[in-house]
Structure 1
Amino acid sequence: MSTIIVPAHATSITDDVEQLHKAFSGWGTDEKLIISILAHRDAEQRKQIRETYAATHNEDLLKSLDKELSNDFEKLVLLWVLSPPERDAYLVNEATKRWTKSNQVVVEVVCTRSSHDLLLAKQAYHARYKKSMEEDIAYLTKGDFRKLLLPLVATCRYEGSEVNMTLAKTEAKLLHEKLDDKCYNDDDLIRILTTRSKFQINATLNQYKNIYGEDIIKELEEDSKDEYISLLRATLECLTYPEKYFERVLRQAINKTGTDETALTRVVATRAEVDMKVIKEEYLKRNSVPLDKAIAKDTRGDYEDMLLALIGCDEE
């Protein structure tokens, strides 16, 4: 489901490094050359490029890019070059600096990654910021937000596909009871969302719809102006159908009132190697416009070219 286009034949990491170094040399920067390499290398290749670049030129590739690039193009390239765990750690740390809607970025990371990937992100967070992800979440949030976010970050979910249907029916009824009473911060409701496997939660939501004829996520949408309920809805979406969640983030980022480059950059950089193909399909279905056309209409220059390359719509 990745959309990046990697050369069919393995490329020389050494050649890539020298080409990148060449792009930084002389008068000006060759942005097109940078895009042609970095946008078409997978995570492992980018890791090798960064390691070889440091060994060859005695400087982190990220620092070289930071000196040569600027604006949204720079932010996108730097986010892309980070390893997935480093990227997740960075995104969560940045989110802790700007709460309210940034809470959803934490939810994106902790609810759409596997337990193993989340563990790697926590380790990267500890290595980079010299404290734990849980520590910052606990310190920088309060009330219902902390009550939901902290166990989401701390959890280690079962990844298997086994489902207990009796439990799914029981917990569907429990969720209905809590939502009917508007007890959105109930301990049992939060326990279900923060401890059950994604397969089990999917089964519970399916039972909810079968029994009550309503989609629980759509029910929560009615109270979407409440920031905590919006976070609760984002949690359910990220756990059960992340592609729909990310389509909505992109739709809201590319709109008539202006482009949210931060959100657009984040989603493309984090999902290009994961499920961007499905996100593109969801976007077309929901908006009747291909994602690449929407991006091309709202962005310009090297930033646009890098985005289109990562979603598989450049000329390579």
Structure 2
Amino acid sequence: MRILLISFILSSAGIVFGQDLPTLVPVDPFDPNGDAARLFDAIDGWGTDEDKIVSVLCYRVASQRDAITTTYNSQHGSLADDLKSDLSGSFQTLAIMLTHSMVKFLSIELYETMARSGTDETSLTEIVMSRSNAELAEVRSFYVDFYGHSLVSDIESDTCCAYQQLIIQMAEGQRDESNVVNMTLVQEDVVALYEAGPAIEETDEVVYVNIFSLRNFVHLNEVAILYEATYETSLTTVVTTEFTGKEIANALVSILQYSRDKARYFSERFHASIAGVGTADRDLMRLTVSRCETDLGKIKSAYQTVYGESLSNAVSKDTSGSYRTALLALIG
């Protein structure tokens, strides 16, 4: 009954993959000339007014910050260079990050996941998995112009095997984004995953890569639910058992987590960036900047539910100074 009912509802109307709740919205009225002048005043001369920098860069959305940067650059020289000269540490990194357009920001973050000593597969998966096909198309175009080589070529150089195939297919932006679920196809995928995994001696990785990289996220969640109901084993357990490569297994688990509850997935990513000894500052910055204009409000609620404290409080305990002030302004 459940399958028939869902099939009828979803095939006739479709369903929406969550509702966004940003913590940063466009300021209105917006005055890029005034904001550029305010930044110049904060930087020019002896001493730097870091609070004034925060008051501009952390209270404007990416498109507005891009306009401010363009205005500043045309009137005073390079804003990024001036911030680099006047600031230091994590606040410097974050402030410069906030001068980039969203496509430049995402391109740089993708590059950084592969430029470090050892590829950061967890962050690479997070970025590629969570961007729309249109955003990924913009990133691929910008990336090749900015770095002189393609995003896909860098992925090919820094990854291998099934994980490489999965990330490339996601980066190429081929995922169905309809969020409509056809329960007949769900049933077919459940059987296909079983027959490509537990039912045979050697896992057919291509089947898993194709389903996980091409199906919409609502569909994938239904696949996970029906798989467990049918075979009495979670799909998460299956992929961690069937795939010996840590990178591909972790990526498939991340996709399942994201499909089930996007806000909780990101709340866990935030927690990982600040848990334990030290702070993964680059991850913390990227997560904050990339989600504040979309769904950070929902992520904050999920964080409170899962960890029993507010995200703002957790971040505050792990950071300091203007860096803390800037992050908390974006988190809201």
TM-score, L = length of structure 2 = 0.85
Are 1:303 and 2:320 matched, yes or no?
no
The more displaced of 206-215 and 252-261 is 206-215
Are 1:137 and 2:159 matched, yes or no?
no
* Counterpart position of 1:243: 263
Alpha-carbon RMSD across the aligned residues, in angstroms, is 2.4
Structure 2 vs 1, CA of residues 258 and 241 (structure 1 numbering), >3 Å: closer, same or farther? Answer: same
Give the drift of 1:3: 0.7
Distance in structure 2 (CA, Å) of the matches to 1:24 and 1:164: 56
Whichever residue aligns with residue 261 of structure 2, its letter is Y
Does the CA contact (< 8 Å) of 1:111 and 1:239 recur in 2?
no
The more displaced of 283-292 and 103-112 is 103-112
The more displaced of 299-308 and 221-230 is 221-230
Does the CA contact (< 8 Å) of 1:125 and 1:132 recur in 2?
yes
Whichever residue aligns with residue 31 of structure 1, its letter is E
Uncovered stretches (5+) of structure 1, i.e. residues with no partner: none
Whichever residue aligns with residue 64 of structure 2, its letter is Q
Does the CA contact (< 8 Å) of 2:25 and 2:293 recur in 1?
no
Within 5 A, what are the aligned runs for 1:145-224? 145-180=163-198, 186-217=205-236, 220=239
Give the drift of 1:185: 6.2
Are 1:268 and 2:295 matched, yes or no?
no
Structure 2 vs 1, CA of residues 209 and 60 (structure 1 numbering), >3 Å: closer, same or farther? Answer: farther
Distance in structure 1 (CA, Å) of the matches to 2:154 and 2:305: 38
Q: 2:53 aligns with which of 6, 10, 34?
A: 34
Whichever residue aligns with residue 294 of structure 1, its letter is A
- The total of aligned residue pairs comes to 310
Determine helix, strand or coil for the equivalent of 2:98. Answer: helix
* Counterpart position of 1:56: 75
Structure 2 vs 1, CA of residues 60 and 208 (structure 1 numbering), >3 Å: closer, same or farther? Answer: farther
Uncovered stretches (5+) of structure 2, i.e. residues with no partner: 1-20
Q: 2:64 aligns with which of 30, 45, 51?
A: 45
Does the CA contact (< 8 Å) of 2:33 and 2:68 recur in 1?
yes
* Counterpart position of 2:35: 16
Does the CA contact (< 8 Å) of 1:144 and 1:185 recur in 2?
no
TM-score, L = length of structure 1 = 0.89
Give the drift of 1:239: 4.8
Distance in structure 2 (CA, Å) of the matches to 1:259 and 1:127: 32
Structure 2 vs 1, CA of residues 185 and 19 (structure 1 numbering), >3 Å: closer, same or farther? Answer: farther
Distance in structure 2 (CA, Å) of the matches to 1:99 and 1:143: 20
Structure 2 vs 1, CA of residues 150 and 177 (structure 1 numbering), >3 Å: closer, same or farther? Answer: same
Structure 2 vs 1, CA of residues 287 and 219 (structure 1 numbering), >3 Å: closer, same or farther? Answer: farther
Whichever residue aligns with residue 307 of structure 2, its letter is N
Whichever residue aligns with residue 15 of structure 1, its letter is G
Which deviations, in whole Å up to 9, do the C-alpha atoms of 1:42-100 show, x marking residues without a partner? 1221121011112212x232222222221111111222221111111111111112375
Structure 2 vs 1, CA of residues 184 and 73 (structure 1 numbering), >3 Å: closer, same or farther? Answer: farther
Percent identity between matched residues is 27
Does the CA contact (< 8 Å) of 1:108 and 1:238 recur in 2?
no
